[in-house]
Each structure stands twice: as C-alpha cells, then as structure tokens.
Amino acid sequence: MRATEDTYLHKGMRKKMVDSIREMGISEEAVLGAMMNVPRHFFLDSAFEKHAYEEKAFLIGEDQTISHPYTVAFQTQLLGIKPFDKILEVGTGSAYQACILAELKAKVFTIERQKKLFEGNKNFKLLTSSLLIKTFYGDGFEGLPTYAPFDKVLITAAAPFIPQKLIDQLKPGGIMVIPLNEGENQRMLRITKDINGDLIEERFSEFSFVPMLGGKKE
C-alpha cells in the first residue's frame, strides 16, 4: 500500500529534507524546488511513510531501492535540466526521479527492466507532472532508438561500462550522467558530447547504486 495524501506534516518533513540537501551542497534552486514539490512518500510503501524524508534509500520491491534524496538531487543538478529537454532515464524504479525531472518541465522517457516495477508505477500518475513522462518496459542498455536523439541521458543504476548505444542516442551537445563502477562503489561521471561528437568527461564523488543488469525480467 502506498500513501496518496500529502499533509502539512509531510510538507514539514519535506522542507527539512530540502534544507539538509542544500546544506550538503545542492545549490540549484530549481532542483531544490522540485524536491519540495514532489511528495517522496507517494513512492514508498506506507510502512516507510514516517521515514520517507530521511537521507536514506528504501526498498521499493524486487530488491531494488529508491535512491537517497541527495543522490537524486545531485544527478538532477548535474544534468542542468532546461524546460522541454528530452531525457532518457535508465531505471524507472519507483518513478520518483522521473517525477523530479518532469517537475523541471523535462520530457521524460524512462525504462525499467523489471516488469513488476514497471507495472507498479501507478502513484506518479497522481501528479500533474506525470503528463510529461512516458514509461517503457525494456533493457536500458539498448536505450530507445525510436525516440532518440535525447538532450540528456540519466542512468540510475550502477553501470559496468559506458554503454555505446546510449552515447549514440545522445544529441551533439548532450549530457549523460552515469554512476560507473569503480571498486566497491560507483564514480559519478558527467559526459558531454560536443558538437563534433567528442566526449568530455568530468568526475565527481562516489555513490552506491544497485547494479545495472542486462535483459528484461518478467
């Protein structure tokens, strides 16, 4: 069961979450605003409702997790979202991250390889921003060639390598944000494809994600 009511108590907890990610270094006001507007507790089982605004990852079923609020904010900030950006997200999971992107007025194309999670994403449909989101059941390593090219590609699972097919689906001038396996954890990378198609790589801090796996799961 998931919650569908957003009370003043939830809003209070959310405000504290936003204050804390600001203190952790997120400075983009639009990103902080989107984190304030999207009720994170809608994306979790109601058993976690009281804790939904803590700096934690939570199980969302099928052994997968919704990312920490700071991680969501960090990846979103790195993408530098502009209204009407066309974004490919790999790993829909709870669809929380997809809703944050849509809240920033991006057009989101999000893929999930686990059928149960793909089908379980009913809650985000309660949000007005969901009109900007299209969900797909498939393997993110393949991307969505039919809808390419994208302005931005966001990977929300631990990638074993940089998928060439996803680089190919990026527009010249486009940006990919990808947590790439490095030892036990993942190094957050921002890869910019310049107008000649050359790649510029920037490295940020380490994070911990569930693995990006090939193929679909029934």
Instruction: Tell me the two tokens of residue 89.
Output: 């997200």
Determine if 91 is a binding residue for ligand SAH (CB under 6 A): yes
Give dist(CA 6, CA 104) in Å, integer: 20
Determine if 93 is a binding residue for ligand SAH (CB under 6 A): yes
Determine if 28 is a binding residue for ligand SAH (CB under 6 A): no
Min dist CB 156 to ligand SAH, Å, is: 4
Nearer CB in complex with ligand SAH: 121/172: 121
Given 2, 40, 44, 67, the residue binding ligand SAH (CB under 6 A): 67
By three-state DSSP, how is residue 211 classified? strand
Name the packing angle between helices 69-79 and 96-103 (round to 10°): 40
Asked whether the beta carbons of 76 and 92 are under 8 A apart, the reply is: no
Span of 7-15, 16-24, 106-114, 185-193 interacting with ligand SAH by CB under 6 A: 106-114
67 catalytic per annotation: yes
Determine if 39 is a binding residue for ligand SAH (CB under 6 A): no
Give dist(CA 139, CA 131) in Å, integer: 23
Determine if 162 is a binding residue for ligand SAH (CB under 6 A): no
Span of 32-40, 119-127, 196-204, 210-218 interacting with ligand SAH by CB under 6 A: 210-218
Instruction: Tell me the two tokens of residue 211.
Output: 């693995």
Determine if 179 is a binding residue for ligand SAH (CB under 6 A): no
Determine if 66 is a binding residue for ligand SAH (CB under 6 A): yes
Given 28, 80, 139, 160, the residue binding ligand SAH (CB under 6 A): 139
- As beta bridge partners, residue 87 has 108, 152
Give dist(CA 203, CA 72) in Å, integer: 17
Q: Which is the catalytic residue, given 67, 94, 129, 130?
A: 67
Which is it for the CA torsion 184, 87, 5, 119, positive or negative?
negative
Residues 6+ apart with CB under 8 A from 164: none
Judged by the rule CB under 6 A, the positions of this chain that interact with ligand SAH are 60, 64-67, 90-91, 93-94, 96-97, 111-114, 117, 139-141, 156-157, 210, 212-214
Q: Hey, which residues are catalytic here?
A: 67
